[in-house]
Amino acid sequence: MERLSGLDASFLYNETATLHMHTLKYAVLDVANVEGGFTVERLRHELERRLHLLPPFRRRLVEVPLGLHHPVWIEDPDFDLDLHVRRVGVPAPGGRREMDELIGEIASWPLDRRRPLWECWVLESLADDLDDPAAGPPSGTRVGFLVKMHHAMADGVAAAALLANVMEVEPDAVDPPPPLEAWRPDEVPTAWGLVVAALVDGVANLRALPALLWRTVGGLRAVSRRRRVAEVSPPLPILHTGRTPFNGALTAHRAFATCDLALADVKLVRQAFGVTINDVVLGLVGGSLRAHLLAVDALPSRPLVAGVPVASDAGSTDRLMGNKVSNLFTTLATDVADPVERLAAIHAVAGAAKEVHNLLGADMLGDWSEYAPPRLYAWFMRQYSRFNLADRHRPPINLVVSNVPGPRDPLYIADGRLAGIWSVGPVVEGVGLNVTVWSYLDQVHVGVIGCRDHWSDLHVVTDGMQAALAELLDRAEPATRMPAESDAAS
């Protein structure tokens, strides 16, 4: 039995009938060299052999009586792999649009909390060329695998580590390492045992509160001093945000879209204008949304504000579950028409946002989450969703943009080669757009999710990002080259 951290548990409390807090991890495998093909039965077999490498996958929640503390994880004594593995065919012709629409439908259904909080879907009948499905009927050499995993289980860093844990760097290494010890399910704890453990842990949390208060006051004072003298400061949530058509109350329905960008092109833009990879990603999103909002006559006078998740244990490769993440808030400079000037403004404000984030401390969000009252928090979020309160005030931010550096070497599982991977986090009330990029090999894979009732076609965002990159590349060619900054996304 292991108690969820306050940050992990907050993703549970945020969840309502219209706000789903699962994340999506989607991979396409090239299975041309897999003898007999990669069927759902083969997937189930390979997953079963690797469950010891996926620690969260056999854990389920147990709530504490009266909501006295955050829930606990137990090794599920009723775990049944068959309840988590499913299959579905992508409608003809099996291209990117059909694939994305199907994933959006799957994302619209919440996970069952009576079981471990994940599902794996096998997507069959994919076209050989997702962007040109008319080139020929599917040959069966491409298979999609969609893992829907609750955010309480893992953040982007942990999810990347889980992926690395079950994949191989050589195509012939088909046998996973054996478990160090046999898996043992837990007994379901008694109500009395849960209450006693909650009270003991609660007392320990109270002892840590004075130090947290002192650290928080010091951080806020440091930020206040910086804002008084700094030439550039990051935007403040709510106070500095404008409203867009996708900033409002959610419904349960989701739309999903993907695209792929050449990593070499992104690096060229970074080098030409002396910015970071993260800045380029923000610039592409900003350029796309500015063009879209102008087209529908909905561009606010205030620049869009993005929340950017930042790992508080950046560089970690061995954490396989849980969340170690905070957020910084920065501009997309959508009030700037020129794309190069917009990128420069994003670079300046993002640098200031990092300074503020460091002054406050990367762990502050997680530390304060420990004191969230479970029942009150969850009740408030249900009422907030039920009465569509997000329609009645400015959004805290406009969207989330996340950048997760992925593997730089080819990965394989049971002779299948990983051809591409896309990921996306949830959308929340008032913040109806999430853009996540994962780099893999020489590609940047973009995943976008939004509330379907806010978007007639979410591919306008991914198409716009491709157009924004082309625009910056045109300007980069004659630009004076500047020393490249580190490839690391931070």
By annotation, the residues acting in catalysis are 151
Picking from 125, 115, 157, the residue whose alpha carbon sits closest to that of residue 23 is 157
**Which strand (E) or helix (H) includes residue 10?**
helix 6-13
- d(CA 424, CA 421) in angstroms, rounded, equals 10
- d(CA 305, CA 233) in angstroms, rounded, equals 13
Picking from 334, 283, 340, 337, the residue whose alpha carbon sits closest to that of residue 479 is 340
* Residue 100 three-state SS: helix
**Which strand (E) or helix (H) includes residue 13?**
helix 6-13
| C-alpha dist (Å) from residue 362 to 3, 212, 276, 408 | 21, 13, 20, 27
- d(CA 41, CA 5) in angstroms, rounded, equals 35
Picking from 34, 146, 36, the residue whose alpha carbon sits closest to that of residue 85 is 146
- d(CA 288, CA 24) in angstroms, rounded, equals 22
* Amino acid code (one letter) for 336: V
